[in-house]
Protein backbone atom coordinates (compact mmCIF):
# COMPACT_ATOMS: atom_id res chain seq x y z
CA UNK A 1 0.00 0.00 0.00
CA UNK A 2 1.40 3.40 -0.96
CA UNK A 3 1.24 6.32 1.42
CA UNK A 4 1.50 8.99 -1.21
CA UNK A 5 0.46 8.95 -4.84
CA UNK A 6 2.93 11.55 -6.00
CA UNK A 7 5.80 11.78 -8.48
CA UNK A 8 8.19 12.38 -5.58
CA UNK A 9 7.16 9.14 -3.89
CA UNK A 10 7.38 7.12 -7.08
CA UNK A 11 10.80 8.58 -7.88
CA UNK A 12 12.03 7.73 -4.36
CA UNK A 13 10.71 4.19 -4.61
CA UNK A 14 11.82 3.57 -8.21
CA UNK A 15 15.03 1.63 -7.39
CA UNK A 16 13.12 -0.81 -5.17
CA UNK A 17 10.26 -1.21 -7.61
CA UNK A 18 12.64 -1.78 -10.52
CA UNK A 19 14.63 -4.36 -8.56
CA UNK A 20 11.44 -6.15 -7.50
CA UNK A 21 10.21 -6.34 -11.10
CA UNK A 22 13.57 -7.59 -12.35
CA UNK A 23 13.81 -10.20 -9.59
CA UNK A 24 10.29 -11.46 -10.28
CA UNK A 25 10.89 -11.81 -14.00
CA UNK A 26 14.28 -13.46 -13.48
CA UNK A 27 12.87 -15.97 -10.98
CA UNK A 28 9.97 -16.98 -13.22
CA UNK A 29 12.22 -17.18 -16.28
CA UNK A 30 14.86 -19.33 -14.63
CA UNK A 31 12.32 -21.57 -12.93
CA UNK A 32 10.58 -22.13 -16.27
CA UNK A 33 13.89 -22.83 -18.01
CA UNK A 34 15.21 -25.35 -15.49
CA UNK A 35 11.79 -26.93 -15.02
CA UNK A 36 12.39 -28.40 -18.46
CA UNK A 37 15.72 -29.96 -17.42
CA UNK A 38 15.48 -33.17 -15.41
CA UNK A 39 18.10 -34.22 -12.89
CA UNK A 40 19.93 -37.39 -13.89
CA UNK A 41 18.99 -38.98 -10.57
CA UNK A 42 15.32 -38.77 -11.54
CA UNK A 43 14.18 -38.03 -7.98
CA UNK A 44 11.21 -35.73 -7.44
CA UNK A 45 11.31 -32.56 -5.41
CA UNK A 46 9.58 -34.28 -2.51
CA UNK A 47 11.99 -37.20 -2.61
CA UNK A 48 14.99 -34.86 -2.82
CA UNK A 49 13.84 -33.00 0.29
CA UNK A 50 13.32 -36.30 2.11
CA UNK A 51 16.83 -37.45 1.19
CA UNK A 52 18.36 -34.30 2.67
CA UNK A 53 16.32 -34.59 5.86
CA UNK A 54 17.22 -38.27 6.20
CA UNK A 55 20.91 -37.47 5.68
CA UNK A 56 20.71 -35.07 8.63
CA UNK A 57 18.79 -37.58 10.76
CA UNK A 58 15.58 -35.53 10.97
CA UNK A 59 13.52 -37.21 8.27
CA UNK A 60 11.26 -38.80 10.87
CA UNK A 61 10.40 -35.50 12.53
CA UNK A 62 9.54 -33.36 9.50
CA UNK A 63 6.46 -33.90 7.36
CA UNK A 64 6.52 -33.21 3.62
CA UNK A 65 3.20 -32.47 1.98
CA UNK A 66 1.90 -30.85 -1.20
CA UNK A 67 0.32 -27.41 -1.17
CA UNK A 68 -1.44 -25.23 -3.72
CA UNK A 69 -0.08 -22.25 -5.59
CA UNK A 70 2.84 -21.40 -7.84
CA UNK A 71 6.15 -21.30 -5.94
CA UNK A 72 4.24 -21.32 -2.66
CA UNK A 73 6.87 -23.64 -1.18
CA UNK A 74 7.72 -23.02 2.46
CA UNK A 75 8.75 -24.63 5.73
CA UNK A 76 6.47 -24.17 8.75
CA UNK A 77 8.59 -24.39 11.92
CA UNK A 78 5.55 -24.41 14.22
CA UNK A 79 4.28 -27.73 12.84
CA UNK A 80 7.62 -28.94 11.41
CA UNK A 81 6.00 -29.28 8.00
CA UNK A 82 7.64 -28.74 4.64
CA UNK A 83 5.02 -27.79 2.04
CA UNK A 84 5.84 -28.02 -1.66
CA UNK A 85 3.91 -26.58 -4.60
CA UNK A 86 2.67 -28.88 -7.39
CA UNK A 87 5.45 -27.79 -9.75
CA UNK A 88 8.03 -28.85 -7.15
CA UNK A 89 6.51 -31.78 -5.24
CA UNK A 90 6.31 -34.30 -8.10
CA UNK A 91 8.79 -32.93 -10.62
CA UNK A 92 12.34 -34.33 -11.07
CA UNK A 93 13.54 -31.08 -12.69
CA UNK A 94 16.59 -29.15 -11.54
CA UNK A 95 14.32 -26.25 -10.61
CA UNK A 96 12.09 -28.47 -8.50
CA UNK A 97 14.85 -30.27 -6.61
CA UNK A 98 16.65 -26.97 -6.03
CA UNK A 99 13.59 -25.34 -4.47
CA UNK A 100 12.74 -28.47 -2.47
CA UNK A 101 16.27 -28.76 -1.10
CA UNK A 102 16.20 -25.07 -0.21
CA UNK A 103 13.08 -25.63 1.90
CA UNK A 104 14.70 -28.69 3.44
CA UNK A 105 17.55 -26.35 4.31
CA UNK A 106 15.13 -24.36 6.47
CA UNK A 107 14.09 -27.54 8.29
CA UNK A 108 17.75 -28.32 8.92
CA UNK A 109 18.28 -24.77 10.20
CA UNK A 110 15.39 -25.31 12.62
CA UNK A 111 16.78 -28.63 13.84
CA UNK A 112 20.23 -27.10 14.35
CA UNK A 113 18.77 -24.03 16.10
CA UNK A 114 20.14 -21.59 13.53
CA UNK A 115 19.87 -18.26 15.37
CA UNK A 116 18.66 -16.01 12.51
CA UNK A 117 15.79 -18.42 11.79
CA UNK A 118 14.77 -18.32 15.44
CA UNK A 119 14.87 -14.52 15.36
CA UNK A 120 12.79 -14.38 12.19
CA UNK A 121 10.19 -16.73 13.66
CA UNK A 122 10.01 -14.61 16.81
CA UNK A 123 9.50 -11.48 14.68
CA UNK A 124 6.55 -12.89 12.73
CA UNK A 125 3.80 -11.54 15.06
CA UNK A 126 5.37 -8.07 15.21
CA UNK A 127 5.92 -8.03 11.45
CA UNK A 128 2.31 -9.00 10.77
CA UNK A 129 0.99 -6.32 13.11
CA UNK A 130 3.36 -3.78 11.59
CA UNK A 131 2.35 -4.62 8.03
CA UNK A 132 -1.38 -4.45 8.83
CA UNK A 133 -1.49 -1.40 11.09
CA UNK A 134 1.43 0.87 10.19
CA UNK A 135 -0.09 2.44 7.06
CA UNK A 136 -3.58 3.07 8.51
CA UNK A 137 -2.01 4.69 11.57
CA UNK A 138 0.34 6.78 9.42
CA UNK A 139 -2.52 7.91 7.20
CA UNK A 140 -4.62 8.95 10.19
CA UNK A 141 -1.59 10.78 11.56
CA UNK A 142 -1.16 12.60 8.25
CA UNK A 143 -4.80 13.70 8.13
CA UNK A 144 -4.46 14.98 11.70
CA UNK A 145 -1.67 17.33 10.68
CA UNK A 146 1.18 14.86 11.07
CA UNK A 147 0.24 14.06 14.65
CA UNK A 148 3.59 13.18 16.28
CA UNK A 149 2.30 10.32 18.45
CA UNK A 150 0.55 8.56 15.57
CA UNK A 151 3.40 9.17 13.13
CA UNK A 152 5.97 7.82 15.60
CA UNK A 153 3.81 4.79 16.35
CA UNK A 154 3.32 4.14 12.63
CA UNK A 155 7.06 4.38 12.01
CA UNK A 156 7.80 1.93 14.84
CA UNK A 157 5.29 -0.57 13.45
CA UNK A 158 6.62 -0.11 9.93
CA UNK A 159 10.13 -0.57 11.28
CA UNK A 160 9.15 -3.95 12.72
CA UNK A 161 8.03 -5.07 9.27
CA UNK A 162 11.25 -3.74 7.74
CA UNK A 163 13.36 -5.55 10.34
CA UNK A 164 11.66 -8.81 9.42
CA UNK A 165 12.60 -8.41 5.74
CA UNK A 166 16.22 -7.69 6.70
CA UNK A 167 16.51 -10.65 9.08
CA UNK A 168 15.04 -12.85 6.34
CA UNK A 169 18.06 -12.28 4.10
CA UNK A 170 20.68 -14.35 6.00
CA UNK A 171 18.07 -17.04 6.66
CA UNK A 172 17.29 -17.46 2.96
CA UNK A 173 20.92 -17.21 1.86
CA UNK A 174 22.02 -19.85 4.36
CA UNK A 175 19.21 -22.23 3.35
CA UNK A 176 20.28 -21.98 -0.29
CA UNK A 177 23.95 -22.44 0.62
CA UNK A 178 23.08 -25.60 2.54
CA UNK A 179 20.96 -26.88 -0.34
CA UNK A 180 23.71 -26.33 -2.92
CA UNK A 181 26.20 -28.37 -0.88
CA UNK A 182 23.91 -31.12 0.35
CA UNK A 183 22.12 -31.87 -2.94
CA UNK A 184 25.46 -32.76 -4.51
CA UNK A 185 26.67 -34.68 -1.47
CA UNK A 186 23.42 -36.68 -1.37
CA UNK A 187 23.70 -37.58 -5.06
CA UNK A 188 20.52 -35.71 -6.02
CA UNK A 189 22.36 -33.70 -8.65
CA UNK A 190 25.85 -33.84 -10.12
CA UNK A 191 28.28 -30.96 -9.58
CA UNK A 192 27.60 -29.87 -13.16
CA UNK A 193 23.82 -29.95 -12.66
CA UNK A 194 24.04 -27.98 -9.44
CA UNK A 195 24.78 -24.84 -11.47
CA UNK A 196 21.29 -24.87 -12.97
CA UNK A 197 19.59 -25.40 -9.62
CA UNK A 198 21.76 -22.68 -8.09
CA UNK A 199 20.65 -20.17 -10.72
CA UNK A 200 17.03 -20.71 -9.69
CA UNK A 201 17.88 -20.29 -6.00
CA UNK A 202 19.97 -17.18 -6.63
CA UNK A 203 17.14 -15.56 -8.56
CA UNK A 204 14.69 -16.41 -5.80
CA UNK A 205 17.03 -14.86 -3.23
CA UNK A 206 17.05 -11.66 -5.25
CA UNK A 207 13.30 -11.34 -4.64
CA UNK A 208 14.01 -11.20 -0.89
CA UNK A 209 16.67 -8.56 -1.46
CA UNK A 210 14.17 -6.53 -3.48
CA UNK A 211 11.57 -6.86 -0.74
CA UNK A 212 14.04 -5.62 1.87
CA UNK A 213 15.19 -2.70 -0.29
CA UNK A 214 11.59 -1.67 -1.00
CA UNK A 215 10.64 -1.86 2.67
CA UNK A 216 13.67 0.19 3.72
CA UNK A 217 12.93 2.85 1.10
CA UNK A 218 9.32 3.11 2.29
CA UNK A 219 10.45 3.63 5.87
CA UNK A 220 13.04 6.22 4.83
CA UNK A 221 10.44 8.09 2.80
CA UNK A 222 8.00 8.24 5.70
CA UNK A 223 10.75 9.40 8.06
CA UNK A 224 11.86 12.10 5.63
CA UNK A 225 8.28 13.39 5.30
CA UNK A 226 7.76 13.28 9.04
CA UNK A 227 10.78 15.51 9.64
CA UNK A 228 9.17 18.17 7.50
Structure confidence by residue, pLDDT tens digits, 185-206: 999 999 999 999 999 999 999 9
Identify the band that residue 67 occupies on the pLDDT scale cut at 50, 70 and 90: very high
pLDDT recorded at residue 122: 94
Record the pTM: 0.91
The number of beta carbons lying within 10 Å of the beta carbon of residue 12 is 17
Q: 146 pLDDT exceeds 70? A: yes
Range from 2-11, 73-82, 110-119, 165-174 carrying the lowest mean pLDDT: 2-11
Catalytic site positions: 103
Identify the band that residue 228 occupies on the pLDDT scale cut at 50, 70 and 90: low
Q: Residue 159 domain-assigned?
A: yes
Identify the band that residue 132 occupies on the pLDDT scale cut at 50, 70 and 90: very high
pLDDT recorded at residue 130: 92
pLDDT recorded at residue 55: 93
Tens of pLDDT, residue by residue over 43-54, are 999 999 999 999
Q: Residue 2 domain-assigned?
A: no
The domain total for the chain is 1
Average pLDDT for residues 28-53, to the nearest whole number? 97
Q: 4 pLDDT exceeds 60? A: no
Task: Please provide the average confidence, as pLDDT, over all residues in the chain.
Answer: 93
Q: Residue 1 domain-assigned?
A: no
Cβ atoms 92, 43 nearer than 8 A: yes
Q: Residue 165 domain-assigned?
A: yes
Average pLDDT for residues 1-29, to the nearest whole number? 84
Q: Residue 160 domain-assigned?
A: yes
Cβ atoms 102, 85 nearer than 8 A: no
pLDDT recorded at residue 95: 98
Listed in sequence order, the residues at least 6 apart from 180 whose beta carbon sits closer than 8 Å to its beta carbon are 194, 197, 198, 201
Tens of pLDDT, residue by residue over 113-131, are 999 999 999 999 999 999 9
Rounded CA separation 91/208 (Å): 24
pLDDT recorded at residue 2: 44
Residue of higher predicted confidence among 9 and 98: 98
User: What phi, psi does 68 have (nearest 5°)?
Assistant: -90, 160
Q: Residue 175 domain-assigned?
A: yes
Range of the domain at 93: 7-227
User: What phi, psi does 77 have (nearest 5°)?
Assistant: -70, -25
Q: In the sheet where 63-66 sits, what is the strand order?
A: 63-66, 81-84, 74-76
Rounded CA separation 143/13 (Å): 22
Q: Residue 148 domain-assigned?
A: yes
pLDDT recorded at residue 143: 84
Q: 1 pLDDT exceeds 70? A: no
Amino acid sequence: MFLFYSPAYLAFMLPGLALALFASILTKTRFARYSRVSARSGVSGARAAQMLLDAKGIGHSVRIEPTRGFLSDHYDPTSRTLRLSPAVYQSPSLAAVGVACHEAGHAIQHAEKYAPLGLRTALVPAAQIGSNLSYPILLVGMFMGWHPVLINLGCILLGAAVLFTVVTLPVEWDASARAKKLMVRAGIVTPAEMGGAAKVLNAAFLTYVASAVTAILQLLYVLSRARR
